């Protein structure tokens, strides 16, 4: 009989290998199951909002799978964006305001005839105002509760607030409303993917960006994860659906592109996290930065905002042809009549080229088994 001491070392080796590779697979290969409900920071927007498993807070792994039709998708939007990217700042963006337990509360009337309900006891600061354009987006974060209130076509008349649509979500959630129940067409929370001035102060955008395309360039038929709704209506099968994630080629050396400091920060985020299609817009693709009429700060030090509230990036420095589309899942039909009664969508994941097997694991496990067999064989030889 083999003494236990001869088996301790190889058994420990097996356990350590299994432990190491099991958890490395969770952290690097199965990012959709990294789950946490804990806040990322005590200051609400010091770090990106939402949980670590939020689609916007998951870095794109080095072995991310690229969609087989990536060239076709990119070519489909080339006419819209060849050598520049637009940042919506002063118009068609999102002003963010902060509330606390002392903020005045209001009942907000939701006027969309399909829903027509009252959102009760919403804390709205006295200086709150929606974006001036047609979407009229407005975001309020209650720092005392960690709740984000999102509104579409918000409006204040006298002492009364209304909106065509509104809803609330925890800033410690994944940042996606079920079945498109948010104020953005894709179901993303309004702060999800939103660029903030403090990120330029810190020198890093540590999350994915959200972007829009011309309606004629967004495929109809429903979203793909992580989006939970879509307002795309293109019949072109090569038009990307809402939820598509584009990544700037990570092999590009940004130091060689003559980028401004702000452009470089944005480009780095597009390499590490990418941008997720979350809405329809007009003309060139647009990413979104917080509207300075809110309480997140101004942009004078970081971005050159024109009279239309827009910023133009990467002109003749980075082309859309240098982006690629990550592998996409199947489209889901648009939300049912009652999104709260329907089954939830499955969790989001970034597909990788090696999700089924972890490189080197089988080989190392084989060596562990060989170690055990060797110890047993040596013991038997000694007995003989």
The yes-or-no verdict on residue 291 having pLDDT over 50 is yes
How far apart (Å, rounded) are the C-alpha atoms in residues 93 and 308?
12
Query: 90 lies in which domain range?
Result: 70-325
Q: What is the pLDDT of residue 6?
A: 47
Position 35 in a domain: no
Position 142 in a domain: yes
**355, exposed or middle or buried, with CB in 10 Å at 0-12, 13-18, 19+?**
middle
The yes-or-no verdict on residue 23 having pLDDT over 50 is no
Number of domains in the chain: 1
Q: E strands along 79-225, which residues?
A: 85-88, 96-99, 105-110, 118-123, 138-142, 147-152, 155-157, 160-163, 165-170, 209-213
Q: What is the pLDDT of residue 378?
A: 47
Q: How confident is the model at residue 206 (pLDDT cuts 50, 70, 90)?
A: very high
The yes-or-no verdict on residue 9 having pLDDT over 60 is no
User: Percent of the chain, pLDDT > 70?
Assistant: 78
> CB within 8 A of 354, min separation 6: which ones?
29, 63
Across 115-119, 124-128, 282-286, the highest mean pLDDT is recorded for 124-128
Give the pair of three-digit tokens for residue 41: 């920071």
Give the pair of three-digit tokens for residue 145: 């509760």
Position 124 in a domain: yes
Q: Which residue has the higher pLDDT, 182 or 17?
A: 182
Give the pair of three-digit tokens for residue 211: 């972007």
Handedness of CA 335, 339, 344, 350 (dihedral sign): positive
The yes-or-no verdict on residue 124 having pLDDT over 80 is yes
Q: What is the mean pLDDT of the chain?
A: 83
Query: What is the SS3 assignment for 272?
Result: helix
How far apart (Å, rounded) are the C-alpha atoms in residues 290 and 92?
10
How far apart (Å, rounded) are the C-alpha atoms in residues 33 and 324?
24
Position 355 in a domain: no
Position 57 in a domain: no
Across 61-65, 233-237, 308-312, 372-376, the highest mean pLDDT is recorded for 61-65
Q: Could you read off the pLDDT of 229-250 as tens digits, one per residue? A: 999 999 999 999 999 999 999 9
How far apart (Å, rounded) are the C-alpha atoms in residues 336 and 164?
19
Q: What is the pLDDT of residue 334?
A: 73
Q: What is the pLDDT of residue 25?
A: 34
Query: What is the SS3 assignment for 195?
Result: strand
Q: What is the pLDDT of residue 77?
A: 84
Helix axes 361-383, 5-28, angle to 10 degrees: 180
Q: What is the pLDDT of residue 342?
A: 63
Q: How confident is the model at residue 106 (pLDDT cuts 50, 70, 90)?
A: very high
Q: For Cα atoms 56, 60, 62, give the angle at the middle one, nearest 5 degrees.
A: 170
Residue with tokens 């199965």: 30
Neighbouring-strand partners of residue 119: 108
Tell me phi and psi for residue 120, to 5 degrees: -95, 150
Q: Could you read off the pLDDT of 48-66 as tens digits, one per residue? A: 899 999 999 999 999 999 9
Position 312 in a domain: yes
Position 348 in a domain: no
Position 371 in a domain: no
Q: Which residue has the higher pLDDT, 356 or 300?
A: 300
Interior/surface letters 172-211, b for 16+ CB within 10 angstroms, e for the rest: bbbbbbbbbbbbbbbbbbbbbbbbbbebbeeeebbbbbbb
Q: How many other β-carbons are positioned within 10 Å of the β-carbon of residue 168? A: 17
């Amino acid at each position: 009989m083999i003494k236990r001491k001869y088996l301790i070392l190889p058994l420990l080796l097996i356990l350590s290998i299994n432990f190491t590779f099991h958890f490395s697979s969770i952290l690097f290969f199965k990012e959709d199951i990294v789950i946490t409900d804990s806040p990322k920071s005590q200051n609400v927007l010091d770090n990106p909002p939402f949980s670590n498993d939020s689609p916007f807070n998951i870095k794109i792994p080095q072995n991310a799978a690229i969609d087989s039709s990536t060239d076709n998708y990119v070519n489909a939007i080339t006419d819209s964006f060849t050598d520049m990217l637009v940042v919506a700042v002063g118009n068609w963006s999102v002003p963010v305001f902060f509330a606390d337990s002392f903020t005045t509360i209001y009942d907000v009337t939701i006027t969309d005839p399909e829903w027509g309900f009252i959102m009760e006891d919403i804390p709205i600061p006295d200086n709150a105002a929606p974006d001036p354009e047609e979407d009229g987006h407005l975001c309020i974060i209650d720092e005392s509760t960690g709740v984000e209130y999102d509104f579409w076509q918000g409006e204040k008349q006298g002492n009364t607030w209304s909106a065509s649509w509104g809803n609330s979500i925890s800033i410690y959630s994944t940042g996606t409303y079920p079945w498109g129940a948010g104020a953005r067409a894709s179901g993303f929370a309004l702060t999800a993917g939103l660029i903030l001035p403090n990120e330029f102060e810190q020198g890093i955008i540590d999350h994915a960006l959200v972007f829009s395309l011309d309606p004629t360039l967004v495929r109809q038929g429903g979203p793909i994860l992580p989006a939970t709704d879509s307002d795309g209506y293109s019949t072109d099968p090569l038009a990307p659906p809402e939820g598509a994630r584009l990544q700037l080629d990570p092999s590009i050396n940004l130091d060689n592109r003559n980028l401004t400091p702000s452009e470089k920060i944005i480009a780095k985020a597009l390499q590490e996290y990418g941008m997720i299609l979350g809405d329809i817009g007009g003309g060139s693709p647009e990413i979104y930065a917080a509207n300075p009429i809110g309480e997140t700060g101004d942009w004078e030090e970081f971005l050159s905002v024109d009279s239309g509230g827009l910023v133009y990036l990467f002109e003749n420095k980075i082309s859309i042809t240098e982006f690629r589309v990550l592998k996409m899942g199947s489209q889901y039909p648009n939300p049912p009549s009652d999104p709260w009664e329907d089954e939830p969508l499955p969790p989001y994941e970034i597909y990788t080229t090696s999700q089924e097997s972890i490189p080197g694991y089988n080989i190392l496990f084989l060596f562990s088994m060989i170690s055990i067999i060797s110890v047993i064989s040596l013991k038997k030889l000694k007995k003989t």
